[in-house]
Amino acid sequence: MGLFDKIKNEFIDIIEWVDNTNDTIVWKFPRYQNEIKMGAQLTVRESQVAVFMNEGKIADVFAPGRYELQTQNMPILTTLRGWKYGFNSPFKVDVFYVSTKQFIDQKWGTKNPITLSDPRFGFIELRAFGTYAFRVNDAGKFIKEIAGTNESFSTEEVAEQLRSMIVTKFSDAAGEGNIPVEKFAANLEELSQLGKDKLNTDFTEYGLNITKFLVENVSMPEDLKKEIFNYSRLNAIDMNKLAQFNTANAIGDAAKNQGLGGAGVGMGVGFGMGNMMTNMFNQTGMTNAGGNATPPPPPTTQFHVVVNGAQAGPFAIQQLQAMVAAGQLTTATLVWKAGMANWAAAETQVELQALFAAVPPPPPPVPPSV
């Protein structure tokens, strides 16, 4: 090496970083054994921060701009070096450039299922994945907490550290977000915002800011999907209407059933179910054409009836009239209603006497054919 090259390499006059990559976060200026000359030109471009480190301690931090290095614009380094009255000799210091641009399209995902507790479905396992973007908003803190003294530090290196933190914080956000598990897929935007807020609460400690956090998909086991699907359908059904529909179907089946003590009992059970359905309609209220619920009708007298030795009912007057016409209720049939001390014959009850008077006589016999 010639004398000119030796003298040239003794001092550094220009400090700058031209970043030709898309993934470098921290880059150390290659000083090697050279010393920085007092009065050297420091250039910090937009989306960059320069951090001076003296003997492992963070000194001065320079925002974007052009600087002529003097003790006046290096107050912390001046204090550390003891330059109380100015210093014009070359000095040694480590210079780290930190990129503050936004690093986008970073991937995250759950390698293993995360476990959440749901009050309806118990412990459930979910998988999720998406993308995020971040930037460094405190260069000194980021170097101290994450990058250390590495000569360069890329997004791939920080990604491994961030992913595990992201999964943990996303699990917390999903558990504390009060979003029903069956609505996760329909509320990805809300989940994303919850995750971003949760992450930034802790990431500020590392000098980082999550600028965007997206949950692109949440998946769960197939058996849990089916359970949630059935639960959602059941929750959407009007249970009163479902009960009325099932009761209406059961009336026909019960009336046809001859194995419960004969046709009389089958008809009695059928009437009983019909009465239950009538009560449900009265309780829920019907809706008129104008969309207003009509008030329920006034309560009517109802009787329990002994049919083929078995108690049935209670039945409304209209039902009892049908039983009279079918021969299931006679004047001697035992009946009981609320307020009666004991069972009594139907003919003794004022409310029922009119039913027997309205029964037509049996039809005349058909004359024999000639």
Of 5, 25, 8, 7, nearest to 17 by C-alpha is 25
What is the CB neighbour count within 10 angstroms for residue 271?
Answer: 27
What whole-number distance in Å separates Cα of residue 42 and Cα of residue 48?
A: 12
SS3 277: helix
- For 240-263, what is each residue's pLDDT tens digit? 554 555 555 555 555 555 444 444
Output the average pLDDT for the chain. 76
Architecture category of domain 103-227 in CATH: 2-Layer Sandwich (3.30)
- For 127-185, what is each residue's pLDDT tens digit? 888 999 999 999 999 988 888 777 888 888 878 778 888 888 887 777 776 677 767 77
What whole-number distance in Å separates Cα of residue 304 and Cα of residue 311?
A: 7
User: What is the pairing mode between strands 11-15 and 35-44?
Assistant: parallel
Over residues 190-208, mean pLDDT: 87
Q: In angstroms, what CA-CA distances link 347 with 162, 303, 311, 331, 353?
A: 88, 13, 18, 5, 6
Cβ neighbours for 282, distance < 8 A, ≥ 6 positions apart = 296, 297
Over residues 337-357, mean pLDDT: 84
pLDDT at 73 over 70: yes
Dihedral pair phi/psi, residue 170, rounded to 5°? -65, -40
What is the CB neighbour count within 10 angstroms for residue 10?
Answer: 12
For residue 50, the Cα-to-chain-centroid distance in whole angstroms is 43
User: Residue 3: its pLDDT value, please?
Assistant: 44
What whole-number distance in Å separates Cα of residue 295 and Cα of residue 285?
A: 7
Cβ neighbours for 157, distance < 8 A, ≥ 6 positions apart = 150
Measured at the CA of 326, the angle between CA 324 and CA 327, to 5 degrees, comes to 65
What whole-number distance in Å separates Cα of residue 254 and Cα of residue 265?
A: 9
pLDDT band at residue 265, thresholds of 50, 70 and 90?
very low
- Residue 35 bridge partners (DSSP): 11
User: Model pTM?
Assistant: 0.55
User: Residue 297: its pLDDT value, please?
Assistant: 59
**Domain boundary assignment for the chain:** 3-99, 103-227, 237-282+301-357
pLDDT at 49 over 60: yes
Return the beta strands (E) in 249-328 as ranges.
Answer: 303-307, 310-315
**What's the chain's length in residues?**
370
What tokens were used for 119?
A: 């009050």
